[in-house]
Amino acid sequence: MAVGFAAGNPPVTIIWRAIVVMVVSWVAGQAVGHIAQRTIEMQVDSYKQVNPFPPLSKMDVDDQEVIVVDSEGEITEPDTKTEAEAA
């Protein structure tokens, strides 16, 4: 804004140009963000197709140690109920 005043532009012109530049920048940022998000989703989908992971219900976890971490990063005891017991 100081440069606009120094160039002799009226305040209305300075504000108008600033708003136009902000809108154009916002649109460009949205476009770049959308492209980046789509690219990441495509890469994740591709990785999942190449490296399939079996569902947990089909994994044999009887002989393995299971560590459960809560949302705060604390290790908790795993829930040992079966689906039948939980219902």
Q: How confident is the model at residue 72 (pLDDT cuts 50, 70, 90)?
A: confident
Note the pTM of the prediction, 2 decimals: 0.52
Query: Which pLDDT band holds residue 1 (cuts at 50, 70, 90)?
Result: low
**Three-state SS string across the chain, please?**
CHHHHHCCCCHHHHHHHHHHHHHHHHHHHHHHHHHHHHHHHHHHHHHHHHCCCCCHHHCCCCCCCCCEECCCCCEECCCCCCHHHHC
Q: Residues 17-50: pLDDT tens digits?
A: 999 999 999 999 999 999 999 999 999 999 988 8
Domain ranges of the chain: 2-86
